[in-house]
Amino acid sequence: MAVPSARAQELVTPEAACTYVGAAFDEAIYAFAANQQAEAFVTEVMSVVRLPRNFTVQAANVPRIAAIRDGDRRLILYNTYVLQQARQPGPARWAALRELAHAAGHHLLHHDLGTGPQRPLEELEADDFSGYVLARLRANPAQAVTGLDSTRAITSDLYPAWPLRLEALRAGLQKGDTSEAHYFGFAGSAPPPKDKPPPPPPPT
């Protein structure tokens, strides 16, 4: 994969990473400043969550979009071609937004991204978070799962099986459809629909 050379680059040495589809980094990673389009995508994601941004976005020679821990830094690295393909409305846009929201979720929810037993749960929570974001951005269920079958072939133990990831994404979609508050976590239960009041308390 070619390393862009038009702008100042920095070597990134990930301590931990999520590439969404389990792709390995097969060469040294060089990152450079994000362009306006990438920042606009991040702003779009952050506009529907009430959490402070704690990561930096940079372009890099990565397969698609990746969440990275590099020392004390939290980064989202993106392939410029992926976001170029996502400029116009359509499947590529929703797939890019889902992967970007997944990466942002890892950082906003303070995931370690390590290789311990908690990692598969972190992946499910990030999938759940991405579903919430897509629902708040008015994606329908078909748009939300565009390209998700690319995760079917993952063999790493760090990533849950495809049906579990699909279930987590759909749970997040339900949260986003039924809540105007804020993301309340993968372990939480969805609140009642907006047009239905909560059930009355049991008689005492």
- Rounded CA-CA distance 182/164 in Å is 23
Q: How much is the mean pLDDT over the chain?
A: 85
Number of domains in the chain: 1
Q: What is the pLDDT of residues 65-74, one digit of tens each?
A: 999 998 889 9
136 token code pair: 């708040």
Report the run of H or E that residue 121 belongs to, with start and end.
helix 119-136
Q: Is 160 a member of any domain?
A: yes
Confidence (pLDDT) at 200: 54
Can you give the pLDDT at residue 2?
44
Q: Among 88-92, 123-127, 141-145, where is mean pLDDT lowest? A: 88-92
Number of H helices, E strands in the chain: 6, 6
Is 193 within the bounds of a domain? Answer: no
Closest CA to 168 of 137, 126, 109: 126
**Is 2 a member of any domain?**
no
Q: What's the pLDDT tens digit per position in 46-87?
A: 999 988 999 999 999 999 999 999 888 999 999 999 998 888
Considering only residues 20 and 204, tell me which one the structure prediction assigns the higher pLDDT. 20
- Is 159 inside any structural domain? yes
Residue 96 lies in a domain: yes
Q: Is the pLDDT of residue 173 over 60?
A: yes
200 lies in some domain:
no
pLDDT at 197: 44
Q: What is the residue range of 34's domain? A: 10-178
* Residue 183 resides in a domain: no
For residues 25-44, give the mean pLDDT: 94
| In a domain? residue 201 | no
Give mean pLDDT, residues 154-181: 86
Residues ≥6 apart with Cβ < 8 Å to 66: 17, 18, 19, 20, 60, 76, 77, 78, 103
The reported pLDDT for the residue numbered 189 is: 39
